[in-house]
Amino acid sequence: MTTSDDQTVEISQDMIRLGQLLKFASLVEDGVEAREVIAEGLVSVNGEPEYQRGKQLHPGDVVTLGDATLRIDRA
């Protein structure tokens, strides 16, 4: 886990999966770490704890891990 700020993540597809987003935004180093932080309930999607690494995220969704907040936008 790295930053303590808000980021906008632009995606070119209609959706991105939660584990992929965390890796893409460099909040975790790999899929194993993504699985761990999600399973521990450290990740929130739109203000609610999320436990599914494969959760589909779409533009407009907001993901929080620690102090980092990711807002998904369409590229």
Q: Taking the domains of the chain in order of start, what are their residue ranges?
A: 6-74
Q: Where are the beta strands (DSSP E) in 1-75?
A: 6-11, 16-17, 43-45, 48-49, 56-57, 62-65, 68-74
Are residues 72 and 65 in contact, defined by beta-carbon separation less than 8 angstroms? no
Q: What is the pLDDT of residue 5?
A: 73
Six-digit token string for 25: 């935004």
CATH domain 6-74 topology: 3.10.290
Indicate if the pLDDT at residue 2 is higher than 50: no
Containing 36, the helix (H) or strand (E) segment is helix 31-39
pLDDT tens per residue across span 25-65:
999 999 999 999 999 999 999 999 999 999 999 999 999 99
Query: What is d(CA 7, CA 52) in angstroms, rounded to the nearest whole number?
Result: 22
